[in-house]
C-alpha cells in the first residue's frame, strides 16, 4: 500500500508571478498578493486563480484576510 500526499504550491518551491506585471506574487494564505499593484488573486481548492479577471483590489490585508 502506498500513501500519496498532494503537495501545495508553498511546499514545492513554486514561484508565482502576477499576470499583469510579471512581478513575484506573495503567498499569504488563501490569496496571492501583488504588492506592486495592490491586487490579490484567490486560491480555490488549492488552485491559484491567476487570470486578470479574477483579480481583487485589496485596500488592506491582515493575516491573509482581505479588508
Residue range 18-55, pLDDT digits in tens? 999 999 999 988 899 998 888 999 999 888 999 999 99
* Gap between the Cα atoms of 30 and 58, Å rounded: 13
Task: List CB contacts of 21: < 8 A, sequence separation 6 or more.
Answer: 34, 36, 37
51 secondary structure, DSSP code: S
- Is a pLDDT exceeding 60 seen at residue 9? no
17 secondary structure, DSSP code: B
Q: Please tell me the pTM assigned to this model.
A: 0.69
Cell numbers 483590489 correspond to 57
Amino acid at each position: 500500500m502506498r500513501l500519496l500526499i498532494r503537495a501545495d504550491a508553498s511546499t514545492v518551491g513554486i514561484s508565482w508571478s502576477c499576470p499583469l506585471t510579471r512581478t513575484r506574487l506573495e503567498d499569504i494564505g488563501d490569496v496571492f498578493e501583488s504588492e506592486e499593484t495592490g491586487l490579490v488573486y484567490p486560491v480555490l481548492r488549492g488552485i491559484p486563480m491567476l487570470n486578470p479577471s479574477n483579480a481583487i483590489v485589496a485596500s488592506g490585508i491582515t493575516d491573509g484576510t482581505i479588508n
